[in-house]
Every structure is written in structure tokens, then in C-alpha cells.
Amino acid sequence: MPFTNQTIGAFFENIVANDPDREFMIYPDRNLRFTYKEFNDRVNTLAKGLLSIGIGKGDHVGIWAKNIPDWLTFMFATAKIGAVLVTVNTSYKSHEVEYVIKQSDMKAIAIIDGFRDVDYISIMYELVPELKTQQRGKLRSQRFPCLQSVIFIGQEKHRGMYNSTELLLLGKHGNDEELHMIKENLDCHDVVNMQYTSGTTGFPKGVMLTHYNILNNGYYIGERQKFTKEDRLCLPVPLFHCFGIVLGVLAVLTHGSTLVMIELFDPLMVLAAVEKEKCTALYGVPTMFIAEFTHPMFKMFDLSSLRTGIMAGSPCPIEAMKTVIEQMHCKDITIAYGLTEASPVFTQTSVTDPIERRVSTVGTAMPEIEVKIIDPNTGETVGPNQQGEICCRGYNIMKGYYKMPEMTARAIEKDGWLHSGDLATVDEEGYYKITGRIKDMIIRGGENVYPREIEEFLYTVNGVKDAQVVGIPDEKYGEIVGAFVILKDGAQLTEEDIQDYSRTKIARYKVPKHVFFVKEYPLTASGKVQKFKLRELAVQLLENKKEEA
């Protein structure tokens, strides 16, 4: 039996009853601090405010914002009234936001003023011109028949929109009894959260996750790091992603620990926050950790309070893991693996695993979850150390993709097994290694080449800071190996240097036919490298070379 049958709101209130004055959330850059009780009071006030503008059980409420303090207020307030929080990627522009508002049947959306070069306010007025002429909360949008309210998170007033300050004011005069009744009638199997998968295959799909899915997953993720209420987690990853909400917020909540929030990733902010708040845990995708320990001011910070954390979100280079353990004091750092559809984690290393296991595998199956590796062609389970598709089954499997029954049936077998689309192996002791995406595999003249293996090798080349390997279309071989390399500061390497070194160490067919030196990779907002863009870039660069020749 998984750990809890409670809803997220009920779980929060239990902690408030037992430990009201423990710090729940800190923003070190502005010295903003909430105890569990203070935060719960704010959540209840916002929940009543949302009820007062007609948002209730089963309604879909979008949030399009970076990691600002009230992001979490909206997350918990919607959970307490039985609404579904639809998380919107901060990098989306008008086309993608239009798709998500429409596809998710969003009834309300909470937004900030913008992010980087994207002006959210202008986009909302462009998509919903009726905001300028219609009464708030009574919106009748031609384009979005379900949308009734737009909420600005902050104090500024924008025509046609509520702001969060007003909602908190409405909530102060709201009906406690009504909120109590709603909370009593919620079920842990209700959908609480909807996230859109990055859509590497066609249009993004809305993954429906329940209280039961994500609260239990958060608990077991915290357990693998041996979290207690004394732990303080520095969280610089985006909240709109499972990494932020489940591995971060819910692992902390289920252990009564403390969140140290970073609004927008910046390596210096992270280092300063860890030192100032004496954080014991730190999360990030590999590129974040690399940016931290290669920062010119890295040595100025005292990170000795760190003990554990998670590196995840994309394959973790072994060399980077070792540096984090040795130089950042994260001797108990863990790697987690999973996908949004699995709430998301279904394998993770543990702080008690030997270091070799922790840097070279994604750990063992999580409690209460079955994991198997199958032959992608036959569906048969393969033996130890044989490569196949990794699948899982258990309490953590999503309810499905919103309004996409065919896609759901394609992802989840009738007997409950979820297909990941990832290739993996498992050894005799039950430790899993992710060896690539089924789609990423390069087939060069009949030989299977796994980009992950070559990337790990390239990290061992002196002077290489980061490497990404992709297949490039080729007339003779079908595909050839291309490597995109970021060099360490001051390193001088040529394409020939890397190829000559590779020929002495790896099979000839695996040696990168082309090596491109770049300063950065195209990333998704959650920090994953967009390999399809690298493939397009490789084709373009080779075209240019031909023309010059």
C-alpha cells in the first residue's frame, strides 16, 4: 500500500496541526518567509477568493508564471477546492498558450506580466480582446468558450482582469463553512494537476495527475534522500514541471521540511541561497549543476551544509556527478528517472548506494512500483544487461491524457503498464541504466549507436565541458554520428583532436564524423537539450560548409 490516501490539502493541514511554526517556504533574495501555518492561512484565503469568483471542484485553472511566491499559493488553493491546476510552460508564446487554454478547457488563468522577451499581458489581450470590454468574471470569449476569468498575480490593475490582492481580500470575507464542506468531499483519486508534456511528438498532451499519484511519489522521492523535517531544499527548477512540484514541493511537504525557493535559475543566486540558508539539499538538471561548479566565484561560497539532492531531467554525466559529490559536498546526491505520465519518478538511487552505482545508474525501482524492460518489437521481457524499452506500473500512473483516449491507450497497456519510449538495461542487482531514447538511437549502416554512450566518452576528453551527440542524415550510411561540444574556458581543441583521440578509444563506427563547437545548447524551459534542434543545426552547418567549399 502506498504511503497515504490523503488529499494534498488535508496532508498540509495535518502538518500545520503538529508543527505550525516550522518554516515552509523561504525566498532568500527578498527575505520572505512563511511558516507552515502562515502559508496555510494564505492558501485558505486565496481558496475562498477563488470560490467567490465562481471557481470550484473540477474547474481547470491555468498558471503561467515563473517561481514567484504565490505560484505555490495557487497550487495549494486549487487543490483545496478540488480545482485542477494546469501548469503552463514559462517559455510558451501566444501560439502555444492558445493551444493549452483551448485544449485544457481552462476556466481561469493566473498570469504574471511576462518572462524574458515574452509579454504575457499583451498576449492575453491579443488572444482575448473581450477582456477590454467585458465585466470581470463574466467573460464570454469567442476563441475560448470555457474561459471566464483572467487573474493577474500582483497588485497592478489590468482592464478585465482580477488581481491576486483582490482575491485575497474577497477571501478574507469568504465563507469558511463552504470551504470546509468542499475539502471534506474531495477524494485522493481526483485529478489535481495537469501538465503538458513537452510534445517531442506532435502537439503537447495534458497529463492528468491525482493527489494520490503525486503526493505518494513525493514521499518516496524524499525517502530516497533520507529527508527529515530538519532538511532545507534549495529549489531552482521551474514549478510548472514535475521536477519542481513533485520532486521538490511534495517531497518537502511529505517530510515537513523547508523549501528555499529560487525565482529564476541563476548559478550565483543558488550558491548564495545555499550558503545563506544552510541548505542541506540541492536540485537541478545537469546543466544547472555544471553552471554552478564552473562559475568563477564558486570557491567563494560555503556549501558545507549540503548533503543530498537530485540531479535529473536529462542524462547525468558521470564526471559532473563526481564533481558535485567532491566539490559541492553533496556526498549523498541522487539521480532520479521517470516521466510526467508516471508522476514522474519510478527509479531513483538512494543515499546508501555505493558511489559507483550513484554516478552510473538511475537506481532501483521505487517502492510500490513495478518496473520491467521489454523488447520493443516483441513486447517480451528481456534478461539482465539486455537493452529494451523501460516500462512501469503502479499507483503512480496518470489517469490519462486529457481528451485524448487513443493516445492514452497507446501509452498505457490494458493491464496498466506505461511505456516510456526510453531504452534501458537492468543488472542482476536491479539497478537501471538509461541508454537512450528509442527515437534518438542512431542507426549507422546497420550498426546501432547510442548517443548517451558516446557523450559519456566525450566527457573524458581533456578540455571538454559538455557534449551532446545526434544522428545526422547521410546518403551512404543512412545516419552518421555528429557531436556538439562545449569546451572548458581556455581549452583549445579542434575537430581532428577529438576524432583522433576517439579512434584510439571507441569503435570506428561510433567516432563522430562531425564535431561542432558551440557556446550553448538549445534548451526547453525545464533545461532539457532539444536534440531535434541540434540535428537541424548540424544539417544547416554542413550545407554551409559545402557551399563554402
Per-residue pLDDT for 202 more than 60?
A: no
Task: For residue 119, give the CATH number of its domain.
Answer: 3.40.50.980
Are residues 429 and 459 located together in one domain of the fold?
A: no
Per-residue pLDDT for 399 more than 90?
A: yes
pLDDT tens figures, 26-81: 999 999 999 999 999 999 999 999 999 999 999 999 999 999 999 999 999 999 99
Asked if residue 431 is part of any domain, the answer here is yes
Asked if residue 201 is part of any domain, the answer here is no
Structural domain tally of the chain? 3
User: What pLDDT score was predicted for residue 47?
Assistant: 98
pLDDT tens figures, 203-223: 689 999 999 999 999 999 999
Q: Which helix (H) or strand (E) holds 467?
A: strand 464-474
How far CA 114 is from CA of 68, 152, 482, in Å, comes to 12, 11, 36
Task: For residue 256, give the CATH number of its domain.
Answer: 3.40.50.12780
Asked if residue 90 is part of any domain, the answer here is yes
Per-residue pLDDT for 201 more than 60?
A: no
Residues 22-28: what's their mean pLDDT? 98
3-class DSSP state of 53: coil
Are residues 46 and 94 located together in one domain of the fold?
A: yes
Mean pLDDT score across all residues of the chain: 94
Read off the C-alpha cell for 299. Answer: 570557491
Are residues 307 and 423 located together in one domain of the fold?
A: yes
Given a contact cutoff of 8 angstroms between Cβ atoms, the answer to whether 440 and 314 are in contact is no
Are residues 339 and 475 located together in one domain of the fold?
A: no
For 338-351, give the secondary structure using H, E and C.
ECHHHCCEEEECCC
Task: Give residue 319's pLDDT band: very low, low, confident or very high (50, 70, 90).
Answer: confident
User: What pLDDT score was predicted for residue 391?
Assistant: 98
Asked if residue 194 is part of any domain, the answer here is no
Please choose, from the candidates 8, 86, 7, 75, the residue with its C-alpha nearest in 3D space to the C-alpha of residue 43: 75
pLDDT tens figures, 457-480: 899 899 999 999 999 988 878 789
3-class DSSP state of 206: strand
Are residues 244 and 175 located together in one domain of the fold?
A: no
Are residues 123 and 215 located together in one domain of the fold?
A: no
Are residues 382 and 531 located together in one domain of the fold?
A: no
Residues 399-428: what's their mean pLDDT? 95
Task: Give residue 198's pLDDT band: very low, low, confident or very high (50, 70, 90).
Answer: low
Domain end among 127, 158, 186: 186
Domain end among 437, 463, 495: 437
How far CA 429 is from CA of 4, 353, 356, 388, in Å, comes to 28, 12, 14, 17
Q: Which is more confidently placed, 436 or 21?
A: 21
Are residues 374 and 507 located together in one domain of the fold?
A: no
H helices then E strands: how many in the chain? 18, 28
Are residues 490 and 413 located together in one domain of the fold?
A: no
Asked if residue 469 is part of any domain, the answer here is yes
How far CA 462 is from CA of 90, 406, 492, 502, in Å, comes to 36, 48, 10, 12
Per-residue pLDDT for 199 more than 60?
A: no
Parent domain of 498: 442-548
Residues 123, 125, 129, 135: is their CA dihedral positive or negative? Answer: positive
Task: For residue 479, give the CATH number of its domain.
Answer: 3.30.300.30
Asked if residue 164 is part of any domain, the answer here is yes
The CA distance from 274 to 260, in Å, is 8
Asked if residue 191 is part of any domain, the answer here is no
Are residues 399 and 356 located together in one domain of the fold?
A: yes
User: What pLDDT score was predicted for residue 200?
Assistant: 41
Q: Which is more confidently placed, 359 or 53?
A: 53
pLDDT tens figures, 224-281: 999 999 999 999 999 999 999 999 999 999 999 999 999 999 999 999 999 999 999 9
Are residues 222 and 293 located together in one domain of the fold?
A: yes
Range name among 338-342, 376-380, 390-394 with the lowest pLDDT average: 376-380
How far CA 131 is from CA of 85, 100, 136, 142, 523, in Å, comes to 22, 18, 8, 11, 33
Asked if residue 269 is part of any domain, the answer here is yes
User: What pLDDT score was predicted for residue 235?
Assistant: 98
Q: Which helix (H) or strand (E) holds 251?
A: helix 251-253
Are residues 446 and 423 located together in one domain of the fold?
A: no
Given a contact cutoff of 8 angstroms between Cβ atoms, the answer to whether 457 and 505 are in contact is yes
Please choose, from the candidates 122, 87, 108, the residue with its C-alpha nearest in 3D space to the C-alpha of residue 162: 108
Domain end among 151, 186, 221: 186
Neighbour count for residue 102 (Cβ, 10 Å): 15
User: What pLDDT score was predicted for residue 528?
Assistant: 82
pLDDT over 90, % of the chain: 81
Read off the C-alpha cell for 192. Answer: 489535481
- Model's pTM, two decimal places? 0.86
pLDDT over 70, % of the chain: 99
